[in-house]
């Protein structure tokens, strides 16, 4: 029974350590690179939960140790106690995984992928010359974030001109006349 209790204590330590020092999600990684084309990759920019997170593993180990210790106390058989601990550990880990998945799904983000801006109207806030960068404000819902912008080849846009986003290049947008 001492072995199962030691396993349970180790699981509690792993769970607490994961809660204090861990970062239990794998997704939400947006890789934007500035070299003539963008890579908006990731899991839809949503945090995902792994069954191998420290909280889930720590909960499994805690359940295994606790379930095994209780079964050892009542039955005394090591094989039955181990099986009981395994079942309790899987059950508790499944509950922890479900709870974490629910919590992470409730998180929100203000991240706007630049690729989603194509076709959006924008307002030039600093002049955009044919071969240089300027800035535009793009209205996205209630927000109006500012982006570095390039004009389509051969175009120039003065401050205050209304344009439309026609392409993206990493974190930059490419704009053209509204009628195009």
DSSP, res 14 = H
Residue 173's domain is classified under what CATH number?
2.40.50.140
pLDDT band at 29 (very low <50, low <70, confident <90, very high): very low
Q: Taking a C-beta distance cutoff of 8 angstroms, is the pair 173, 167 a contact?
A: yes
Strand-pair category, 146-151 with 162-169: unpaired
- Alpha-carbon distance of 18 to 114, in angstroms, equals 34
Same domain, yes or no, for 28 and 94? yes
Rounded-to-integer distance, Cα 144 and Cα 101, Å:
31
Number of neighbouring beta carbons within 10 Å of residue 19? 12
Same-domain check for residues 144 and 100: no
Task: For residue 79, give its domain range.
Answer: 2-105
Same domain, 47 and 120: no
Domain edge (last residue) among 105, 124, 147: 105
Number of domains in the chain: 2
pLDDT tens-digit readout, 36-80: 444 444 444 455 778 888 889 999 999 999 999 999 999 878 999
Nearest to 48 by CA among 107, 114, 112: 107
């Amino acid at each position: 029974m001492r072995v199962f209790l030691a396993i349970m204590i180790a699981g509690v330590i792993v769970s607490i350590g994961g809660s204090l020092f861990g970062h239990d999600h794998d997704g939400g990684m947006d890789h934007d690179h500035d070299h003539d084309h963008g890579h908006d990759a990731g899991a839809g920019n949503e945090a995902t939960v792994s069954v191998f997170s420290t909280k889930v593993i720590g909960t499994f180990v805690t359940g295994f140790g606790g379930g095994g210790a209780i079964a050892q106390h009542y039955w005394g058989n090591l094989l039955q106690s181990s099986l009981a601990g395994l079942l309790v550990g899987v059950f508790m880990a499944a509950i922890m995984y479900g709870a974490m998945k629910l919590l992470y799904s409730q998180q929100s983000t203000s991240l706007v992928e630049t690729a989603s801006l194509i076709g959006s109207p924008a307002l030039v806030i600093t002049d955009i010359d044919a071969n240089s960068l300027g800035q535009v404000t793009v209205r996205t819902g209630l927000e109006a974030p500012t982006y570095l912008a390039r004009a389509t080849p051969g175009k120039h846009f003065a401050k205050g001109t209304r344009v439309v986003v026609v392409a993206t290049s990493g974190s930059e947008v490419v704009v053209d006349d509204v009628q195009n």
